[in-house]
Chain A
Amino acid sequence: MDSSSLNSPELMNFINEEKQRAMVAEMVAKLTSVCWDKCITGTPGSKFSSSESNCLSNCAQRYMDMSIIIMKRFQNS
């Protein structure tokens, strides 16, 4: 591949988009893993109970709240 095509703005855009996409995917995967361990304590049933699905959704949102607190703590010091 000639190096000029690697420098095309189009390709840089594509790579940046994929970077963003990877960050989002990684965050979703991480939170799913953490919240699964916290919320799904028994053997998985054929559907989630409402308390399980509420727990998953709350867990994900509280994790984000916590991340913001941690970030602020280090920005203000």
Chain B
Amino acid sequence: MDSFSSPSSGSSPQFSANEFRDQLKTQLAQAYAEEFLETLRVKCFDKCITKPGSSLSGSESSCISRCMERYIEATSIVSRALFKTPH
């Protein structure tokens, strides 16, 4: 596993702190996004696919897109509630 090795040509395993930082940032962003997608899958499957049929119905897929939008909105409501001055 050498995901932290040099992105350029690979001639040398050494690279700068800046490169390290950029790679770390990218990997963190990917990890956050994957975790969020996984949450969306769990929450929206739970809400929208209550009785899995032989195919995804139109109402199920529109429920899924509404669910994703609402979950994103819920995330911003929660973070606003946490970081606004208390009471």
| Residue ranges of A at the interface with B (Cβ–Cβ < 8 Å) | 1-2, 5-6, 8, 10-11, 14-15, 18, 22, 25, 27-29, 31-33, 35-36, 40, 43-46, 48, 53, 56-61, 64
Contact = CB atoms under 8 A, between A and B. Distances in A.
A10 to B, nearest CB: 7
Contacts of B75: 28-29, 32
Nearest to A33: B39
| Chain A interface mostly | helix
Contacts of B67: 43-44
6 contacts: A32-B71, A40-B47, A43-B48, A43-B67, A53-B77, A60-B82
Interface size bracket, B side: 35 or more
Interface in B44-81: 44, 47-48, 63, 66-67, 69-71, 73-75, 77-81
A56 B78 contact: yes
Contact of B82 (A5, A45, A53, A64): A64
Interface centre among B39, B48, B73, B77 (most CB of A within 10 A): B77
Given A56-B74, A64-B82, A1 B20 contact: yes
Counting chain A CB atoms within 10 Å of each CB, the highest count among B69, B73, B80 belongs to B73
B43 interface: yes
Contacts of A18: 24-25, 28
